[in-house]
Structure 1
Amino acid sequence: MKGGIFFTGTGPIVILTTYESFSDALFVEKLAAKGIKKYIAYEVGEDAVKEKYGMHFKVVMGDLRQKDDLRVLDYDGHNIFNKFSLKELGEPVFCEP
């Protein structure tokens, strides 16, 4: 499982996924089905996400209604910017149709 901060047209979201790459065709297709067709993504380590979200991380991971391959952990841009430093982010992945 890996985490990523995705900057989309409606603001940043944090996603957890089992996909190897944020540019994997199936992953891109799943996001497009949710209305996210264009984004800039930065990988963040699973341990960092667990530490920053604590119990919320466990709740989202335990939600049986969601599939393991893609889970939205946070969609509150203000909260995301407070939890993560831009200095923590690595190389971006760009996705544009």
Structure 2
Amino acid sequence: MKTFMLITGSGPLMILTSHSSIEDPLILEKLAIKGIEKFIAYEVPYDLAKLRYGGHFNVVANDLHESDDLRVLDYNGERTFKLFSFAELGTPVLHEASGSTVSAVA
């Protein structure tokens, strides 16, 4: 599983996915269905997210009622920003609905 912080028009959120990349067309399609067509994504180290979210992480990761491979770990952008510093995040990936995805250079 991979963990990503998405910065969207409505604010940050943290997601879990079994896709190996946020640029995978299948996850982009699933995000678009949820109304997320433009975002900045940062990969968050899986073990770090698991440590910071504690038991809630395990509940979301093991939710047997969820049938797809995209799970929202946290809708609360303020909490997400407080739990992780930018120094702990991966290289940002910029995505727009036009189909363009770019890895940003820091």
Distance 1:67 1:15 in 2: 15
Query: Sequence identity of aligned pairs in percent?
Result: 55
Higher helix proportion: 1
- 1:30-86 CA distances to partner (integer Å, 9 max, x unpaired)? 000011011110001110011000100111122212135211000101100110011
Equivalent in the alignment of 2:18: 18
Structure 1 consecutive aligned stretches of length 4 or more whose deviation exceeds 3 Å? none
Check 1:59–1:38 CA distance in 2 against 1; reply closer, same or farther (3 A cut): same
Equivalent in the alignment of 2:29: 29
1:17-96 correspondence to structure 2 within 5 Å: 17-67=17-67, 69-96=69-96
Q: How high is the TM-score relative to the length of structure 2?
A: 0.87
Q: Answer whether contact 1:52 1:83 (CA < 8 A) is retained.
A: yes
Gaps of at least 5 residues in structure 1 are: none
Aligned alpha-carbon RMSD (Å): 1.0
Q: Which moved more, 1:62-71 or 1:78-87?
A: 62-71
Q: Answer whether contact 2:5 2:42 (CA < 8 A) is retained.
A: yes
Count of aligned residue pairs for this structure pair: 97
Structure scoring higher RCO (CA < 8 A, sep ≥ 6) equals 1
Q: How high is the TM-score relative to the length of structure 1?
A: 0.94
